[in-house]
Amino acid sequence: MRIVRAVNHYIVWCLFLSFAYGGLWNMPYEKGESATNTLFSTFSVAPKHLDPVRSYSANEWAIIGQIYEPPLQYNYVDRPYRLEPLTLMRMPEVTYLDENGTLCDENSTRVAYSRYHLQLRPDIRYQDHPAFVKHSDGTLYYGKLQPSLLSSISSVWDLPKRASREVRAEDYAYAIKRMAVRAYHSPVLDTMRPYIVGLDSFSKQISQIAQIKHQAHRPLDLRAYTIEGVKVTGKRSLEITIHGKYPQFLYWLAMNFFAPIPWEADLFYQQEGLRAKNISLDTSPVGSGPYYLALSDPNRKMILKRNRHFHTEYYPGMEKTELNRLPFIDRVVYTLEKESIPMWNKFLQGYYDASGISSEAFDQAVEIGSSGSMGLSDTMKRKGIRMIGSVEPSIFYMAFNMEDPVVGGYSESAKKLRQAISIVQDQEEYISIFMNERGVAAQGPIPPGIFGYVLGEAGTNRVVYDWVNGKRVRKSLAYAKRLLAEAGYPDGIDPQTKKRLKLYYDTTATGPDDRALMDWRRKQFAKLGIDLVIRATDYNRFQDKVRRGKVQIFSWGWNADYPDPENFLFLLYGGNAVVDTGGAGINSSNYKNPVFDRLFEEVKSMENTPQRAKKIVRMVHIAQEDAPWVWGVYPKSLVLVHHWFTQVLPHAMANNTLKYKCIDPKERVAKQQMWNQPVYLPLLIIGGAILLLGWWLYKLYEKRQRRTIRERR
Amino acid sequence: MFIYILRRILYAVPILIGVNLITFMLFFMVNSPDDMARVQLGAKQVTPQMIEAWKVERGYDKPLFYNAEASGVEKVTKTLFVQESSKLFRFDFGRSDANRDIKEDIKARMGPSLAIALPTFLIALVTNISLALLLVLFRGTVLDTTAMVIAVMIMSVSGLFYIIAGQVLFSKIWHWVPISGYAEGWEGIRFIILPVLIGVFSGLGSGVRWYRSIFLEQINQDYVRTARAKGLSEVRVLFSHVLKNGMLPILTGVVVIIPSLFMGSLIMESFFGIPGLGSYTIDAIHAQDFAIVKAMVFLGSVLYIVGLILTDISYTLFDPRVKL
């Protein structure tokens, strides 16, 4: 009887579970949440800084890109990448001035300053936020939070009153002033200091004031200070004056560093009580974008919700109707998933709408054809999953330290040594073995999609490849050996030691997983008879050695800030040599070629014209000939998306692309139901087995007790 | 007892200073403040000005143990070690190098860690003791031998295997529970079922074997024979007598763990998406966030010392012969 009752309870409990959460026991969301117009996504590293002046990581920009609105944005569909106004009426008008501040022609040699005129749209408003609530005298309602109120809140949304206001030109100026404060640690301050007029002196002055105010526990209100080159000329108009000509400045205006900051929010978040609760601009942004951050728990979940004050914007190239009005998705839930396995399985269950492809899941997701072409596996196709791939504006390369007495220098023999090494580094094999075909062998410093990249035969690195029957073919080992002999190392023998030439490769790859890669590296050098010694070290030591030029060969990478060749070519500009600049430069191979440097000076401030393209091609040829890098790989990114997640276009530059994407929640729910019905049979078997075991043990115990009694008799 | 506890607390002070000293030495042997600044600033081009500003703000511009530029006692007190250590002893953990309030973070993460660790600990304790008693009841039988073989097998497999296998079996194939995630309150129960189940199961082998050996030591004692001679059932003998007398060695191993439950489990929390303290220290080491590392090492040491004191106190509850 007791057993029957237990079985009944067990069945009732199973039925209860099956009805809770819409019949799906493994549903990781609240009941009905999946059926809403919500995108479910992930992040693998907790964002540390959401303050736009400080943030400089892709995982942080993925969130704040939807919240903040800099003046410009990238067009979502146009390729090559094209800037367009975001909060501006039109693209900034640029005027050129001479030393005396008189207007002059763009091409004049007298150009000393460029002035950018920004005209704001009148319909840009901030999200609702407690910082905007004010008393009748204009002071902040929540400007001095009392301890009693502070103790009852855990986020800004616990404060009952909220308000909004129009975005004004002074907010953009305020953001630039915040950038100047050293204590806010803006990563672009030192890049912008030489450009924005007066920023350098203002930064020194305001940083001292900020320090004094901080020590005195007083707030820093930046409205009282001005930067010479940043002038608010009206409620919605702003002028930024920069030194000389710097066309790339427009790209900076599309980054979050130049997003508006309302003074109210800055003063509101400076309250010590809020800081003690980890409530600050770093955790609770205030923007005018399509979404606002409704939940900020970087250790678990970040939730974005639609900003009801978001201005009118339509999907590019589509009719301006309500149907095409942005954003399409109401809510976004980002969940922290540190491990790739649970993340991948949840994607397959339909609980995440998109996923990258980890190395563990690659074979399950992708099939490589005999020609090396990549396609989705049948399992993925059956689920209606789509693959979206694109070559990233990035490069991973192996650099030679040009200051090194063996591999460095500009003599013919040194050049030939580097060229021979470049030929034997089989990048195609590397991409196949270590990157699951997710990359393209690089021909020079500029990746595809960036102005100056040349396709096909004309873009082939003639030092390493031949063009045969319409294809790139790596030069032969015999040719590389000949180059090596001409360099003074016949068969890899160093004439000074009469032994095999020994070269040193510095790396941070110290784990057991990296062993295969290091063996592969050694093998590539061994083809020439060169011994490669791996010097594995931790990241700090490695960086320090690179900064001091105490390395010989090492690997490095670069991800573009903006789609301009200058952002890649400056990695080889002599003025940026890391050793000469005391570690601050970006040219880690210390490459210095006077012709290359002169051409760089010319092209860096040129518009994208055929003349500029010609000069860039020449620069690339010089670099290919000098071979300061083994050009390595342009990585490819692959993203998988479910068929209910649409309008997903790869865009390596834009961070605010969420507003263009679409979800079909009905289809998602239908598939989740289909893929996740609980399997009852094992539950019944396990339950039955436990009951049976219990019954058997009971019987065994009873038998044992009885036997003891009989023996005693 | 009060005097005893006071004495133990006083003993703890030099231990904590020593732990702190080792933490400082080890950390700064591997990382310099400049390296830390570079990691925290996270920019592609970190200039010397940026590094200097960051160090001044965080106090890393001070010498570590000896300030040659100061005079008198300040040569020692105006150092990073003394200034930061004194804050720790006041339980003022300050702000992390990423500028978050550490105490607030610990408070927020402690709950989720406990949500997994406490049920796992309690269920494992009850299950392991019950199964161990069961095996003692059937000692020497096929059941006992089979169970011991299974226990060794369970012990031999990595905990990570149970996690991945559990996720695949219970969530991916049978669709019984969410594969990972966390929610507050009752809503969160379905998320903790699997990690708790796996936590209990993976510790079953070692736990049962350990408790079984403790109880087997007791089973041939004179008091057990006396209890049997009185005519008590075997179950009564085990639960009323053997269990009670076996509590002392059990307490030694168990009570000391209780305060550390707050610290969470790194792999379990990472795989199940539990926003606990398990990965807090490891993440901080990777991010070279010394403020968190020193706070967590200090807290861990304090909790361990508290655990030891609690163990001593618990002896007095179970063994009247022990006086503190």
Threshold 0.95, pTM exceeds = no
Architecture per CATH, A33-49+288-384+642-676: 3-Layer(aba) Sandwich (3.40)
Give the closest of A540, A679, A708 to B31, CB-based.
A540
**Beta strand segments in A520-626, E:** 531-536, 553-559
Task: Indicate the Cα dihedral angle A663, A664, A668, A669, nearest 10°.
Answer: 120
In a mutational test of the B interface, the residue from A45, A278, A539 whose CB has the highest number of chain B CBs within 10 Å is A278
Q: Are residues B195 and B281 in the same domain?
A: yes
Question: Which tokens in the block code for residue B38?
Answer: 């570079």
**Domain, as residue range, for B83:** 2-89
Nearest to A68 by CA among A77, A79, A60, A76: A60
pLDDT for residue A713 is more than 50: no
Establish how many alpha carbons lie within 13 A of residue A286's alpha carbon, considering only the half-sphere containing its beta carbon. Answer: 30
Establish how many alpha carbons lie within 13 A of residue A19's alpha carbon, considering only the half-sphere containing its beta carbon. Answer: 5
CB atoms within 10 A of CB A594: 9
pLDDT band at A5 (very low <50, low <70, confident <90, very high): low
In a mutational test of the A interface, the residue from B50, B105, B143, B179 whose CB has the highest number of chain A CBs within 10 Å is B179
Model pLDDT for residues B30-82, shown as the tens digit of each residue = 888 998 998 888 777 788 888 998 999 888 999 999 999 888 899 999 999 99
Is residue B302, in this structure, part of any structural domain at all?
yes
Cis peptide before A80 (omega within 30 of 0): yes
Contact A185 B41 (CB under 8 A): yes
Put simply, whether B184 touches A (Cβ < 8 Å) is no
pLDDT for residue A19 is more than 60: no
State how far residue A66 is from chain B, nearest Cα, in angstroms: 21
Model pLDDT for residues A515-554, shown as the tens digit of each residue = 999 999 999 999 999 999 999 998 888 989 999 999 999 9
Model pLDDT for residues A312-322, shown as the tens digit of each residue = 999 999 999 99
Residues of B in contact with A395 (CB under 8 A): none
Is residue B98, in this structure, part of any structural domain at all?
no
Model pLDDT for residues A353-370, shown as the tens digit of each residue = 999 998 888 889 998 877
Put simply, whether B137 touches A (Cβ < 8 Å) is yes
Average pLDDT over residues A156-183: 97
pLDDT the model gives residue A14: 54
pLDDT the model gives residue A187: 92
Residues of B in contact with A544 (CB under 8 A): 35
Give the closest of B42, B173, B179 to A56, CB-based.
B42
Residue B223: which CATH number? Answer: 1.10.3720.10
- In what helix (H) or strand (E) does residue A201 lie, and over which residues does it extend? helix A199-215
Q: Is B143 helix (H, G, I), strand (E, B) or coil?
A: helix
The count of domains in chain B is 2
Average pLDDT over residues B295-319: 89
Q: Is B189 helix (H, G, I), strand (E, B) or coil?
A: helix
Tokens 């905990």 belong to residue: B159
pLDDT the model gives residue A305: 98
Establish how many alpha carbons lie within 13 A of residue A686's alpha carbon, considering only the half-sphere containing its beta carbon. Answer: 9
Are the C-beta atoms of residues A73 and A121 closer than 8 Å to each other? no
ipTM of the complex: 0.90
C-alpha A347/C-alpha B172 separation (Å) is 11
C-alpha A175/C-alpha A189 separation (Å) is 12
> In degrees rounded to 5, what are phi and psi of residue B69?
-80, -20
Contact A183 B279 (CB under 8 A): no
Among residues of chain A, what percentage have pLDDT more than 90? 87
- Angle at the Cα of A596 (from A592 to A601), degrees rounded to 5? 105
Is residue B189, in this structure, part of any structural domain at all?
yes
pLDDT for residue B136 is more than 60: yes
Q: Are residues B27 and B132 in the same domain?
A: no
Put simply, whether B109 touches A (Cβ < 8 Å) is yes
In a mutational test of the B interface, the residue from A274, A339, A677, A683 whose CB has the highest number of chain B CBs within 10 Å is A339
- In what helix (H) or strand (E) does residue A336 lie, and over which residues does it extend? strand A331-336
pLDDT for residue B185 is more than 80: yes
> In degrees rounded to 5, what are phi and psi of residue A238?
-140, 145
C-alpha A574/C-alpha A591 separation (Å) is 6
Contact B167 A345 (CB under 8 A): yes
Q: Three-state secondary structure along B199-251?
A: HHHHCHHHHHHHHHHHHHHHHCCHHHHHHHHCCCCHHHHHHHHHHHHHHHHHH
| More confident of the two residues A447 and A373 | A447
pLDDT the model gives residue B240: 86
pLDDT band at A20 (very low <50, low <70, confident <90, very high): low
Is residue B94, in this structure, part of any structural domain at all?
no
pLDDT the model gives residue B319: 78
Give the closest of B48, B172, B270 to A345, CB-based.
B172
Are the C-beta atoms of residues B79 and B67 closer than 8 Å to each other? yes
Are the C-beta atoms of residues A65 and A655 closer than 8 Å to each other? yes
Q: Which residue of B has its CA nearest to A203?
A: B49
Q: Are residues B73 and B155 in the same domain?
A: no
pLDDT band at A513 (very low <50, low <70, confident <90, very high): confident
Residues of A in contact with B233 (CB under 8 A): 705
Residues of A in contact with B183 (CB under 8 A): 30
Q: Are residues B175 and B229 in the same domain?
A: yes
Put simply, whether B179 touches A (Cβ < 8 Å) is yes
Is residue B104, in this structure, part of any structural domain at all?
no
Residues of B in contact with A200 (CB under 8 A): none
Model pLDDT for residues A210-245, shown as the tens digit of each residue = 999 999 999 999 999 999 999 999 999 999 999 999
Residues 6+ apart with CB under 8 A from B108: A299, B275
pLDDT the model gives residue A708: 58
Residues of B in contact with A278 (CB under 8 A): 100-101, 104-105
Is residue B220, in this structure, part of any structural domain at all?
yes
Question: Which tokens in the block code for residue A129?
Answer: 């936020």
State how far residue A297 is from chain B, nearest Cα, in angstroms: 9
Q: Are residues B248 and B310 in the same domain?
A: yes
Give the closest of A280, A336, A708 to B273, CB-based.
A336
Is residue B53, in this structure, part of any structural domain at all?
yes
Contact B168 A345 (CB under 8 A): yes
Q: Are residues B279 and B209 in the same domain?
A: yes
Long-range contact pairs involving A366-375 (C-beta distance under 8 Å, separation at least 24): A366/A436, A366/A638, A368/A436, A368/A437, A372/A432, A372/A437, A374/A437, A374/A638
Question: Which tokens in the block code for residue A656?
Answer: 């605010």
C-alpha A595/C-alpha A612 separation (Å) is 15
CATH superfamily of A394-637: Dipeptide-binding Protein; Domain 3 (3.10.105.10)
> Checking phi first, is residue A443 left (phi over 0); if not, alpha (psi -120 to 50) or beta?
alpha
Architecture per CATH, A50-285: Alpha-Beta Complex (3.90)
Model pLDDT for residues A258-301, shown as the tens digit of each residue = 999 999 999 999 999 999 999 999 999 999 999 999 999 999 99
Model pLDDT for residues A323-347, shown as the tens digit of each residue = 999 999 999 999 999 999 999 999 9
- In what helix (H) or strand (E) does residue B313 lie, and over which residues does it extend? helix B290-318
Question: Which tokens in the block code for residue A266?
Answer: 């800055």
Put simply, whether B191 touches A (Cβ < 8 Å) is yes
* Average per-residue pLDDT for chain A: 93
Establish how many alpha carbons lie within 13 A of residue B312's alpha carbon, considering only the half-sphere containing its beta carbon. Answer: 14
Q: Are residues B128 and B72 in the same domain?
A: no
pLDDT band at A15 (very low <50, low <70, confident <90, very high): low
pLDDT the model gives residue B49: 87
pLDDT band at B256 (very low <50, low <70, confident <90, very high): confident
Nearest to A22 by CA among A9, A31, A30: A31
Of chain B, the end-to-end C-alpha distance in Å amounts to 5
Q: Are residues B223 and B312 in the same domain?
A: yes
State how far residue A20 is from chain B, nearest Cα, in angstroms: 11
Hey, where are the domains in chain A? 2-25+678-712, 33-49+288-384+642-676, 50-285, 394-637
State how far residue A152 is from chain B, nearest Cα, in angstroms: 14
Q: Is A237 helix (H, G, I), strand (E, B) or coil?
A: strand
Q: Can you say how many angstroms the Cα of residue A702 is from the centroid of all Cα atoms in its chain? A: 67
Q: Are residues B198 and B301 in the same domain?
A: yes
pLDDT the model gives residue A4: 57
Model pLDDT for residues A547-574, shown as the tens digit of each residue = 999 999 999 999 999 999 999 999 999 9
Model pLDDT for residues A389-410, shown as the tens digit of each residue = 999 999 999 999 999 999 999 9
Residues 6+ apart with CB under 8 A from B188: B115, B182
Cα dist from B303 to B253, B262, B297, whole Å = 15, 9, 10
